[in-house]
Every structure is written in C-alpha cells, then in structure tokens.
Chain A
Amino acid sequence: MIAGGLLAAPLCCGAPTDPSQIPSIFKPQSTPANSIFHLSLLVLAITGIIFTVVFSLLVYAVAKFRKRGNDDGREPAQVYGSNQVELAWTVIPILIVLVLFLATARVIRSIQDAPKPAGAIEVIAIGHQFWWEFRYPALGVVTANELHVPVSNPSNPTPTFLTLLSVDTDHSFWVPRLAGKTDLIPNRVNHTWIDPQETGLYLGQCAQYCGTQHAKMLLRVYVDSPEEFSRWVQEQRNPAVNDDAVAEGRRIFETTACVNCHAISGTIADGHFGPDLTHLMSRDTIASGAAPNNHENLRAWIQNPDSIKPGSLMPAMQLSAHDLDALTGYLVTLR
C-alpha cells in the first residue's frame, strides 16, 4: 500500500509541486542518504516477503476454515500444538534477523565511523530556539539558517562535516535527501556529514520538538559548484556594507536593543542570541525559512515577529513607523 502510494505521489493532484523540492528519503543525493536507501531496499524486500507469506496464510485460514452454512455442529479436531512447526517458525525468523542485523551493522559503521578526508569542509551547526547558526571556523564565516556547501566529486571528495551543538533545548538536523537526522543536544557534541553529488537546493527542518516554533525551524542547504562556493565564502567574509544613504537606519539599529541579540561585523553590534545579520540579504528567507526575504516581510517581521512566527523569541520592537522604515531600509542594504 505504501509502495503504491509512493508511486502515485508524483501523479497526484493538488498544487503543482516541484519534484526536486520533495525531501524524500528515497531520492538520496549524498552518500549517507544513499547507504541508508540501499539498506532500506533490503529491509523492504525482506519485510515484503514476510508480509506476503503471513498475509496469505491469514487470508487462507479465514477463507478455508470458516464455519459453513451446512455445519454439522461438531467441534473440529482439538489440536494443541506441534513442536516441529514451532521449531520451524522460530529458527527461520532468527536466521532472517541475523541477515538483517549484519547488513545493518555494516551501514552503521560506514556512516558513523567514516573518516574525515583532507578536503572536508568543517561547519559548526548550533541549534537555537528556533533558528540555526552556522560557523565555518577554517573559512572565517558566520551565517544563519541557510547552509552553503560545495558539491562533492567522488573522485576528489569535498564532503562537509558538521559538528552539532545546542545552546538551549534539543534540536535535530534533518535534510532527508542528504543524510539521516542527528540531534543537537546541549552540553553534548554530535557529528554528522554529507557529500552531496549534485548542485541544487535541499530542504529540511528541525526534527526534535524544541518548543513553540519547532515547526518553522526550517533548513535550506544550498549545494554550490566549487566556483559558486568560493564566491559565496568570499562575500560572507567581507565586512558589512556601509552605505551612507541609510546611516539613519544604521544609527537606529546601533542604539536600540537590536545590538543585544544580533551581530553585524564592522559595527558595534555583537549580540549572539539571534542570527548574524552581516549578510542578511544574501539569504533567500528570513526567520529560518518562515518567510521569503524581501522588504515587506522584513518590515512586518521587525514590527511584530508573532505575525509571521507566533511564539518566536524575538520581541516586537515597538518602533515608530518612521524608524521602522529607516531601519528596514538599512537592513536591505546588507548584502
């Protein structure tokens, strides 16, 4: 039934869905997701066979041994058991379990104990209520919510190895087409890795309930070509754009509570409770994927975050309309 549903999924009705944006675990694009996919085929095959056999026995029993209309009223033969049959249906499942287990153990090790090659990109992912902080220590980059990684060529792999931390509650990093999920747990260091082999955008989201806005702690992983990735890194390392035309907006930013939570390199703002805004406009979305990143949404977000993400931890800043416009005008220059 599930297999049929999956086959029907691309054909189904409703709003047109770009197939590449369906984060299906059966469309892997990276080695960990791929290994899991192949293991899953074995598991599905075995369980499929077991289901077919047992289901057939059940249907047969229900059909063949039902009480007929012309029943003679006598009780059927009272059979108490059979040692041979019990032995058979004990030994066979044990053998099946053994096969499954050995196949699974291999995949566990190949993913969890994979060595880190020399060309690997290192990222530290820090979970917050309800956004993602990404740091590339070796490259000097700090960003939020949208992860950029280079595509990995199997002959010269450049996978991305992530160290997973949390500042508050439990979270979980899940981008189904790239890898299984791994949790971000406070006071604990976890690791995961991906080596996507095709460029594109991969969607995911937080997969461990972390509070009110767990549902909108979305993930966007941009797999770039090597050139695009280098260009992105360069742009991220630049200090913030300092456009005099929006000096008033910048002044408002630096003199209100914004600086307590946010950082913009090259200004006095060095807060770490909220995302780094130095290159805010290089991102496609705001509020960890909750809304597209444009002037109107940005303004609405600052005016009242609860209008986009009710329960997020950013307070409504209570700015006058004039200050709000100036501030938004400043922020949209931060490419």
Chain B
Amino acid sequence: MSSETIALSTVGRDARPIGERLHDWVVTVDHKRLGILYIVYALVFLVIGGIEAIIMRIQLVVPHNHFVSPQVFNRMFTMHGTTMIFFVAMPMLFGFATYLIPLMIGARDMAFPRLNAFSFWMTAFGGVLLYFSFIGGNGLYGAGNAPDVGWFAYAPLTARAFSPGHSTDFWTLALLTSGVGSIGTAVNFITTILSMRCPGMTLRKMPLLVWLNLIVGGMVILAVSPLTAAQIMLSIDRYLGGHFFDTQAGGSAVLWMHFFWIFGHPEVYILIVPAFAFASEIIPVFSRKPIFGYPVMVAATIAIGFISFSVWAHHMFTVGMSSNGTTFFTITTMIIAVPTGIKIFNWIGTMWGGKIQFKAPMLFCIGFLFQFLIAGLTGIMLGASPFDWQLGNSYFVIAHFHYVIVGGILFTIFGAFYYWFPKMSGRMYNETLAKWHFWLFLIGFHLTFDFMHIPGILGMPRRIYTYEPGRGWEIWNLIVTVGVFFQTAGVLAFVANLLWSLWKGEPAGNDPWDAWTLEWSTSSPPPDYNFAATPVVHSRRPLWDLKHPEDPDWKYE
C-alpha cells in the first residue's frame, strides 16, 4: 500500500470556476457524491430538527410557561419528529450506504446511477416541501401553517374538518415525495448488492454492512409502500370527498393506525439496522478481531426483518383490541428481543479477547452498546402490554425511542462519521476535539434521556405544550432541558471538527485504521472509477488476507 505517495490532488484543489464545480455536484450520478449530498443534507436538517427540540424543551422547562403558544408547540413536535425520521435519519443512513456499498463490493457504481440521483433529489425536494408549509400552509381562511397533527397524523384529526388549510397536505406531499425517493434507493441497493458484486464475493463473503443494507432495502420496499397507500387514501378523503377515515360515514380511525404502523414499526428497524451495520464494521477493526458469529449476525438480522412486520399493533395496545389481539402482538414484540439480544452478545464477543483502541469511532460504538441495551430493555417493558397501558403515550415512550434513535442510531452515525471521514475526504479529523464531542454529548444525552423516563412513570403524557404544577414533574423537566445544552455543545464540537479537518486535517492515506474491507484498498478519496481493476476476493476480509498471507481468512471461514 503506497499510502505515502497518494497525491492529494483530488482534495479541494479543483481550480475550475465555482459555478462549474457546483454544477458537477447538481448533475452528478456518482454514488460517492450522491452519498455525500445525502449526508450533508441530513446534517443541515439535524440542526433544524435540533432547534425545534430546543424550542420545545425551553417551553417545558417550567409548568405553565409562555415561551411559545400551544399552536406553535404542536407544530414543533410534528415537524421535529417528521424531520428527524425522514430528513435526517433516513438520508443520513442511506447516504453512508450509497457511498460505501459499491466500494465494499468492488463495483464501479450503483446498478442504476440515474435512479440514484433521482432518489436523492426526490428526498431533498420532500424536505423543502415540508418546510415550505410554514409559509405556504395557508389555505382558505388563512388557517394553515406547518403541520401540527403529530408525525403519525392520526385520523380523524387530519380530516378537513379538524385540520383546515393545507398544513396536513404538505405533510402528506413531503412524505409521498421522499417515499418515492426511498423506494428508488431501496431498488438500487437490492439490485447493486445482488447483481454487481466482484468475483469471489458470494453472499456469505460480503461485509456485514452490505448484508444489512440488503435487508434494509427489502424492508423499505415492503414498509414504505403502506405509508404511501395510506397517504393517497388520506388525500382522497381530503380532496375528493372520500371516506377512508371518515368516522361520520362509517370509516375507521383505527384503520389509519394499522396502515401507519405497518409502515411505522418496520421503519424504526429500517433506521436501526444500518446502525447495526456501522457497529459491525467499526467494532471488529478497533478490537482487532473479526466479527464474532458472522452467520448468526446475518440470520438474526433477517429474523428481525421478518418479525418486525408482525409487531406493529404494539403501538396500538390502548385502542381497545380484543385480549387475543393484544396477546398476539405482545408475544411477537417479545420475540423480536431474542435476535436483537443475540446481536449485542455477538458484539461483546467480538471485543472479548481483543485489543481495543479507544479512538472516536470505537468510543461512540461502545456508547451505542450500552445505550442500545437499555433501550432494548425499556422496549421489553413496553412490550408487556398491560405495562404499556400505563407507560404508552407518555414521556416514558419518548425516552425509550430517543434512547434508541439518539443513544443507538445517532451514536453509531457519529462513529461512522469519524471512521469514514478520512476515506471520504482524504484527511484525518482531530482526535482531541472528537473526544470532547463524545463526552459532552454523552453527558447531555444521559441528563436528558435517562431522567425523561421518570415523568412518564409519574403520569405525564406526550404532546402537551404545558403541564400542571404539583404533579411532581417539574424537577425532571428541568434536568431534561439542561441536558439539551450539553448535547448542543457536543454537536457544535462535531461540526467544528468536520469543517476544520476538511481544510487542515492530516492526509489520511488509503487505510488509516489498518482495516480489512475493500474500501480501504483504494485511495482517500477514491477515484471516480473506484478501482483500477475489478478486485477478486476469497474471504470476508480481503485486506486481512493480503496483509497476512501466512494466515488468510479463507482457510478458516
């Protein structure tokens, strides 16, 4: 590996006029550039969604606060949830996968590069539509604004009668648009992974990140479509006088819930499985061992993929299902804990007997393991349906899912940023600043989300713009709000690190981590064509085989 002689000519030295360079980015079909576009887009919306959260937490820091009106608060929680799921988490995770999959399988690009670009721009346009609602949501009577119906938009609150103006329609349109983008991306993932692997890379020899994104692709295909269908039905109700969810005409509010959660539950697994993928690439490299139990990891994730389509009504335990229905969804919800737990054990097994290096990517993955364990356990509590009759729709649930999404997914995303930033930019980030990011964010995360469980236990429901004093909720809300400022400081350190390193970071070379998958065999950043010659592989860790010809993996796999 001649890392010392890699020229930095491709890093920020492009001397053409700025207009031409920007034009290249707009018309690109290169998976690497599209991946970066997704990631930067998601980062911008992370900041916007974070501001929405800060507004809510300031409003809730004391009871009967008047920081914002109830109308504004209700828009904030709707926009925060919708933004974070559809315009931060999904694009961020898809962005990394778009960047990495072709590199990891030794391919030149995705199967359908133009579809790739189309998918990105559809997703991007969806975000613009959603935020345009702030100024465009006014319908007749100036009644509209940003959507305020909650990110799951339960019927019949979304009917014309209860949501006049166009705010709900912007929600619908934004998600329909980005949904088309998601399905396009999923088609690309599946086709690329099945049809474009380099010689020797059988399905059993793919990196886990590739396997897990194949499963995610399958889940997106089957899960996003029900949401699309439900939104078409909602629009037919709102504009053509349809009655799908019109309870006055015999329609069913619960039907919307079923359709939404048939999407909504697999959706959260669509978010966590790529996080599992990051952890499964980072933890081995920084423990200096292969992933423990590769076949079991694949099987467990396939099981999670399937089972996730059978648990959806655990979001509906309080709607008055029969005891048979409640019992069925309780057992499926509890069963999904088994393959999930197996994966945690396998990651610990990977670290066991290794030589752990506490660089930033690994720190964030260790945080992920600890937090995902707790999140899984609070999930089991919620899965015990009678317990959910108390905890459901309360701040306990908000604490649980933020534990998964922030403590689990966002932590591994930070880890992935630090791990692959050298590859994508050709420069190393600043390790000290990264450690500041980690500790500040860790403290803030735990201040906010550990203590957030308690108001839920004490009876505080979700989606309330204020609360009554004297119920014992005040101190916990105060602590929760304080944590937000630590998290903000951590994120600022992160952004500063990225920007500074892009300009001033040390040259990274091909393989700064001494890793084992194909993306580390090419330059940092990779050339347009990825590989000068199509690689041929014989094991799951082709670079390990090259670096250890006396002890290659294919002897043991």
A contacts, CB < 8 Å to B: 1-2, 5-6, 9, 12-15, 17-19, 21-26, 33, 35-36, 39-40, 43-44, 47, 50-51, 54-55, 57-58, 61-62, 65-68, 71, 75-82, 85-86, 89-90, 93-94, 97, 100-101, 104-105, 107-109, 111-113, 129, 164, 168-170, 172, 174, 176, 179-183, 185-191, 203-216, 218, 289, 310-311
Contacts and interface: CB of A to CB of B under 8 A. Distances in A.
Nearest to A179: B389
B252 A1 contact: no
Contacts of B294: 80-81
14 contacts: A22-B472, A36-B390, A40-B384, A44-B381, A50-B377, A75-B288, A80-B294, A104-B384, A108-B323, A172-B393, A176-B459, A205-B464, A207-B318, A209-B157
A292 B282 CA distance: 58
B331 A22 contact: no
A184 B390 CA distance: 15
A49 to B, nearest CB: 10
B475 A181 contact: no
A19 B458 CA distance: 11
Contacts of B157: 169-170, 209-211
Q: Which of B289, B342, B345, B472 has the most CB of A within 10 A?
A: B472
B: contact size bracket = 35 or more
Contacts of B254: 185, 188
Interface string B535-557: 00000000000001001010011
A18 B470 CA distance: 7
Contacts of B3: none
Given A79-B289, A79-B292, A24 B318 contact: no
Contacts of B402: none
A109 to B, nearest CB: 5
Contacts of B331: 101
Contacts of A186: 156, 247-248, 253
Contact of A6 (B378, B454, B461): B454
Contacts, number: 302
Interface of B: 69-71, 74, 148-150, 154, 156-157, 162, 247-248, 250-254, 287-290, 292-296, 318-320, 322-323, 326-327, 330-331, 334-335, 337-338, 341-342, 344-346, 348-349, 351-358, 366, 369-370, 373-374, 377-378, 380-381, 384-394, 450-451, 453-454, 457-459, 461-472, 474-476, 548, 551, 553, 556-557
Q: Which of A78, A113, A205 has the most CB of B within 10 A?
A: A78
Contacts of A39: 384, 386-387
A112 B250 CA distance: 25
Contacts of B251: 187
A214 B464 contact: yes
A168 to B, nearest CB: 7
A211 B377 contact: no
Nearest to B463: A209
A311 to B, nearest CB: 5
